[in-house]
Amino acid sequence: MSRHNLVNRRKTTVAQRLPENYNEQQSEFLSYILFRRKEYDYPLSLIGNMDETPMAFNLPSNTTVEQRGTKIVSILSTGHEHANFTVVLACMADGTKLPPVIIFKLVNVLREEFPDRVIIRANKKGWMNENEMTWWVENVWTQRIR
């Protein structure tokens, strides 16, 4: 690379910053949960955590090889960086994992082969909304092994 005056270049991004009192808030929340668990004698199998995250079909690399001194660094992609889907993951405090749910931005559910225990959903926006949350509670949360 040095013979041809090439270097690795990295796309720059701005990361989201955590609140200044993040550790304090985290400790307070954990104390609250532990207090309630002891107060009501909740088993760990009844305490859960669910989150959803957007995923992109196209994940372009953040690095490329360019000539040294190049002012503009372009990262090639398919042009579908904004075509996303949502992944919903959940686990219980005892370590039990609930089936993952994937929500595609489609009218109908895909008729493709997916791994066992992966639930496929579809809606116009491709993300969790009130209807999807109600469905998740009724079909994933309430169906977990107790």
pLDDT, tens digit, 9 for 90 and up, residues 87-144: 999 999 999 999 999 998 887 777 778 888 899 998 888 889 999 999 999 999 988 7
What is the amino acid identity at position 13?
T
The whole-number pLDDT of residue 81 equals 63
Tokens 């469905």 identify what position?
135
Q: How far is CA 41 from CA 34, 90, 124, 139, in A?
A: 10, 22, 42, 26
User: Does the pLDDT value for residue 82 go beyond 70?
Assistant: no
Looking at residue 19, its pLDDT comes to 84
Alpha-carbon distance of 57 to 16, in angstroms, equals 22
Say if residue 52's pLDDT is above 90.
Answer: yes
What pLDDT shows up at residue 78?
Answer: 67
Alpha carbon 98 to chain centroid distance?
15
Listed in sequence order, the residues at least 6 apart from 118 whose beta carbon sits closer than 8 Å to its beta carbon are 99, 100, 101, 102
**Which amino acid, one-letter code, is at 142?**
T
- Report the percent of the chain where pLDDT is more than 90: 38
Max Cα-Cα span within the chain: 69
Q: Which amino acid does the sequence have at 63?
A: T
**Predicted structure pTM score:** 0.68
- What average pLDDT does range 10-28 have in this prediction? 79
Mean pLDDT of the chain: 84
